[in-house]
Chains A and B, each alone.
Chain A
């Protein structure tokens, strides 16, 4: 596709047609055209000044036309930016588009100005009904495909490199396009990718899903121009972002409308050269804007101001006929849509969060917009405040030096004022003393920022609520206040879907159902839930709306976000388990990645040991539910390796409590390893670890005993190897306390240790001999331990043991060794008696006896 020649839609007049009159003072008979960069604080300030100077009666803002009804809410007391206009298809909430606005967005400033001054506000962009309907590939040359993407792109784009141009489509899949994109992804195919590419400036910032799409789409469309980059190149600058900052955002107080004129002129030249610049849909949107502009001028005369992306400004002045514009708009597809305001966050405005609306530093821009004067000094003071709160020593002298450095750096680099780069360099060199660690904090808290928007309670319901209602209907799961229990058989399709819904809601903090302890005999394919719908859950659903427009998308987004922020390893494994239960396969890669990273960096082997069981369980659930668990198995294998390496050193020098805790960990790991698939199980290595534990003197007795026992149970050491080990542990040289602990580890608890002693009289004999040799003064010390060990046995075992001991160690009993065999067992197999078991086995396993 070549750029220019594709442009001519029938209505575009030839060169020379555009008398761009933007923002000029004293202009009469012309609307005030304010071409902005979305999310540009400089643009926002200039817009406010220009509006203040011209006092138009109506302000036309680029945004979906249906949003007119929601304008009044913007003036509500409890409305706090950043917020976003959200449009979604009524039948398919997953198909949605966002137009985020921050405090420093020119659109927001214009809307607030109009509301404060009693001027009218109209949104003049193509109605969302059309943009969202554009699943149809015939729309916009098969490129813009998912119109929604383009639409929010419009706003989303803001601020991204393209944004200056305001060319819609540029922020593409901003934020939530990406997020809610499941709908979009399904319909849009590669088009979604194309949106994404725009939004992120094609820089691959979009982590996680969507990346692939982006890459794919990029091959197809290389010729979409980036107006801002074009202008910067024309001005001889490499970095478009920085150039824009210099010429617009960091400008001092001058004539408020001057930049609009210059920008409109530049854009006019670009449009002449490039036409729609690879965005054929822009022509349609601009036709709609022209129609709206005409209507507004009919109603309000010349007192009209338009705030739109600078890219569109030239198009608004083209002399076209109404009929031609109408013809362009004819036959556009349409879906039923609803709009509402949703709260937004600075993090989502930031590009780096992976689904960027396009601006890298919303916190910095917000600061530039709100700081009354001396922005650099105020910024440095803010940074110093943050660092002090985090216990870094930062003096006022530091702040002074940082400001000086930033200003001199700007002079050296030939910039009018210090920008974000200069301030960041100065903060690093002076306030952070060269270290990147506090700098990361500054970036996260200030440059991006934690700001969370608020939306008045009166805003229309979020699509998430609709999606939930729809699911409740289709799954026949009514929200009832009365508590009831629900048994689910996960092998059935409906029950499986119900379980996933409940799990997803739990992830979103909507605790409609709580898992109840299952009934006896429930396997992994059964779940029991206790349901109860409280009225305040509606509020929670509304709050969760910030995560997405469908339950699945919102839960995925929430899970991904939690994966990134959670620090404790065990919490992430629990999260992975939840994701599997909730069927959120899309979130799994992110969660797994976070899990692998945390596991790699966690130096405490007990954390790893705590994390493994949940992972092993997850693998098993995954099997039941047929999800792909290859990634999970890989992470589990890595975790198991790390445990094997780290466990032996971690088991030395423990006190009694820590040793007991560690014993539980070892048991859990041992069990979990048994659940892992063979490929992921380092079986031999684990045996080696247990052997080392069993043989090392510095390891507490309870762990040595336990390791010996596990090896014995697994058949890794022969029965007659256990006796020497025990005899060594119980030899007179060993402290009685330690020996008692060894016995507890070996034979304690409900693990069947009693039976072992019953059947192997040699072991019992060893214990007996040791016990009688314990000195009297030490006996009272070991008694509690011994009592704990033996009281765990079943009464029958205890009685038998007692009888054996009472009979004396050498007595002939059921446990005495037959010739050459293992104590308690005959030398050979008694086939007749063994066959007696077979019918029962066949009954249990459901197999046919084969003869």
Chain B
């Protein structure tokens, strides 16, 4: 075994560069990490949990699932639900981590991928900070390791000059690493994960060493499955993951609720003039988005074609926010159909040829006939013409 002792032991050289340790709660943080915000619940769960735990897991898989889905412990502690959605999804996700497979959370924007991944890491390893944020510019160093060049030049390649990535630290500690927006990372950088996930080892050729993952190491990645222009995962990498697709809100009411809440928050932070966010228009935007996304009308009677855009909840939020700004600055201060029509058109018609036909079909076959939608129909006709 070629693992140098220094690497395997927490607190040794590798750990020195990590800045604030993962368990020091930053008292004044704007948004505390999950493991701090819900520390009480995690402690209570750990105390009540008598089921077998995989190596280096803070909780048993059952307790992790309970932490995410909520419940009441025998001692009366109430665990708040972190994820409101199908139980099946959380169970599959937790089981995946327990079987030592990497977990890929897919979903359109606004489906709580990051949220779920953070809480999973917090519950499993007690640490959700071993995070690589994926962007188009994410370098290989962020996934493998980098160098402290001052030391490198002064003392030559050595353990001390090496700057480990969050993934490398997770391997050494047997913790859960997180990669956000995996599909935004360039393909060659993505592929450096293959060895880590299949061999569970990270070679350091410069030192003639390698870092082997200790039991408990695992990786949760999130990715956006309907966005265009992303770097598709290579099939070699793809099959190291078990994939869980997080669904959009199941009911229109839930989605309206989410949109209304977010719109209010954003409106406040942008200091938009107060416009009573018309509940009717929010519901209308959500209905249009849901129907086009699902390919069937709410009453289930008519099928419609789905356009190429994602039409996620996040986009519905931005359409309504934009409409509010329009109403406040150029309109009469009330959110009207005309204010959101243009935004909806822009979100729906991404591909000028195909999507436009889809949109017009939808207008003519669904919107026109609907009671109380006359104004909206007219507004849409105006902006589509």
Q: Which residues of A contact B (CB under 8 A)?
A: 393, 395, 397-398, 401, 404-405, 408-409, 412-413, 421, 425-426, 428-430, 432-436, 596-597, 600-601, 603, 638, 641-642, 644-646, 649
Whether A405 and B243, one on each chain, are in contact in the complex, defined by CB atoms closer than 8 angstroms, is no
Asked whether B91 lies within 8 Å of A600 as measured between CB atoms, the reply is no
Residues of B within 8 A of A435 (CB): 243, 245
Residue of A whose beta carbon sits closest to that of B235: A393
Of A404, A405, A425, A434, the residue contacting B88 (CB under 8 A) is A425
Closest 7 pairs between A and B when the two form their complex, measured CB to CB: A434-B243, A600-B303, A434-B245, A429-B242, A645-B360, A597-B303, A409-B95
From A405, A600, A603, A644, contact of B242 by CB (8 A):
A405
- Tell me whether B239 and A412 are in contact (CB under 8 A): no
Q: How distant is the Cα of A428 from the Cα of B245 in the complex, in angstroms?
A: 9
A405 touching B354 by the CB < 8 A rule? no
B84 to chain A, nearest CB (A): 19
Given A430-B242, A601-B303, verify A412-B98 contact (CB < 8 Å): yes
A409: B residues at CB distance < 8 A: 91-92, 95
Closest to A652 in B: B353
Question: A600–B304 contact, CB under 8 A?
Answer: yes
A698 to chain B, nearest CB (A): 13
Q: How far apart sit A436 and B88, CA to CA, in the bound complex (Å)? A: 14
* Interface contact A429-B92, CB-CB below 8 Å: yes
Residue contacts A-B, CB under 8 angstroms, 7 given: A398-B239, A412-B94, A421-B88, A434-B225, A596-B303, A644-B364, A645-B361
Closest to B100 in A: A404
Chain B, residue nearest A646 (CB): B357
Interface residues of B in 85-123 (CB under 8 A from A): 88, 91-92, 94-96, 98-99, 101, 104, 106
- A821 vs chain B, min Cβ distance (A): 38
Which of A401, A421, A597, A644 is packed against the most chain B CB atoms within 10 Å? Answer: A401
Cα A846 to Cα B53 in complex, Å, equals: 93
Query: Is B192's CB within 8 Å of the partner chain A?
Result: no
Looking at the complex, which one of B244, B303, B305 makes contact with A429 (CB distance below 8 Å)?
B244
Chain B residues, CB < 8 A from A642: 361, 364-365
A residues near B62, Cβ cutoff 8 Å: 412
> Smallest Cβ distance from B123 to chain A, in angstroms?
14
A596, B94: Cβ atoms closer than 8 Å? no
Residue of B nearest to A685 (CB): B364
Minimum distance in angstroms from A236 CB to a CB of chain B: 16
- Select the residue from B62, B238, B239, B244 with max chain A CB neighbours within 10 A: B239
Q: Contact: A434 with B104, CB < 8 Å?
A: yes
With CB as the reference atom, state the residue of chain A lying closest to B64. A412
Q: How far is the CB of B351 from chain A (nearest CB, A)?
A: 12
B295 sits at the interface (CB 8 A): yes
In whole angstroms, what is the CA distance A409 to B235 when docked? 25
| Contact indicator B95/A641 (Cβ below 8 Å) | no
Contacts of B99 in A (CB 8 A): 401, 404-405, 408
B302 in the interface (beta carbon within 8 A): yes
Say yes or no for B325: interface residue by CB 8 A criterion: no
Please, which residues of chain A bring their CB within 8 A of the CB of B295?
A: 601
Contact B239–A434 (Cβ < 8 Å): no
Q: Which listed residue (B91, B239, B305, B365) contacts A603, Cβ 8 A?
A: B305
Q: Which of B95, B239, B241 contacts A408 (CB 8 A)?
A: B95
> In the assembled complex, how far is the CB of residue A239 from the closest CB belonging to chain B, in whole angstroms?
12
CA distance A408 to B98 in the complex (A): 8
The yes or no answer to B61 lying at the interface (CB within 8 A) is: yes
**Residue from A397, A398, A601 having most chain B Cβ neighbours under 10 A:** A601
Q: Decide if A405 touches B96 in the complex (CB within 8 Å).
A: yes
Q: Which of B65, B94, B243, B305 has the most CB of A within 10 A?
A: B243
A404, A425, A645: residue with the most chain B Cβ atoms closer than 10 Å: A645
Beyond A401-B101, A408-B99, A645-B361: 13 further Cβ-contacts under 8 Å?
A: A397-B239, A408-B61, A413-B91, A429-B96, A429-B244, A434-B244, A596-B302, A600-B302, A600-B361, A601-B303, A641-B361, A645-B357, A645-B364
Chain A residues lying within 8 Å of B104, measured Cβ to Cβ, are 434
Complex: how many Å from CA A600 to CA B302? Answer: 8
Query: B358: nearest residue on chain A (CB-CB)?
Result: A603
A434/B106 in contact, CB under 8 A: yes
Q: Which residue from chain B places its CB closest to the CB of A434 in the assembled complex?
A: B243
Q: Which residue of A lies closest to B297 (CB)?
A: A600
Most buried by B among A408, A425, A649: A408
Is the CB–CB distance between A649 and B357 below 8 Å? yes
Which residue of B has the minimal Cβ distance to A414?
A: B62
| Minimum CB–CB distance for A784 against chain B, Å | 33
How far apart are the CA atoms of A409 and B239 in the complex, in Å?
19
Question: How would residues 209 to 235 of chain B score, 1 for a CB under 8 Å from any chain A CB and 0 otherwise?
Answer: 000000000000000010000000001
A394 closest partner in B (C-beta): B239
CA distance A432 to B360 in the complex (A): 34
How far does the alpha carbon of A713 sit from the alpha carbon of B242 in the complex, in Å?
64
Please, which residues of chain A bring their CB within 8 A of the CB of B61? 408, 412
| Separation of A464 and B365 alpha carbons in the complex (Å) | 42
Q: Are the CB atoms of B303 and A641 closer together than 8 Å?
A: no
**Cα distance A393–B236 in the bound complex, in angstroms:** 11
Using known A-B contacts A600-B302, A649-B357, determine if residue A412 contacts B101 with beta carbons closer than 8 Å: no
Return chain B residues, CB-CB under 8 Å to A434: 104, 106, 225, 243-245
Q: Is the CB of B357 within 8 A of A412?
A: no
- Contacting pair B92 A425 (CB below 8 A): yes
Closest-CB distance, A745 to chain B (whole angstroms)? 24
> Nearest Cβ in chain B — how far from A223, in angstroms?
31
With the chains together, A428 CA to B88 CA distance in Å? 11
CA distance A22 to B360 in the complex (A): 67
In the complex, which residue of chain A has the Cβ closest to the Cβ of B61?
A: A412
Question: What is the distance, in angstroms, from B266's C-beta to the closest C-beta of chain A?
Answer: 30
CB neighbours of A404 from chain B (8 A):
99, 101
With both beta carbons as reference points, the residue of chain B lying nearest to A436 in the complex is identified as B245
A299 to chain B, nearest CB (A): 54
A432 to B244 alpha-carbon distance, docked (Å): 10
Evaluate whether A405 and B92 lie within 8 angstroms (CB atoms) in the complex, with A412-B65, A434-B104, A642-B365 already known.
Answer: yes
**Residues on the A chain within 8 Å of B244, using CB:** 429, 434
B91 touches A412 (CB 8 A): yes
Give A1 to B99 CA distance when docked, in angstroms. 52
- B354 partner residues in chain A, CB cutoff 8 A: 603
Cβ–Cβ contact A412 & B95, under 8 A: yes
Residues in B neighbouring A425, C-beta threshold 8 A = 88, 91-92
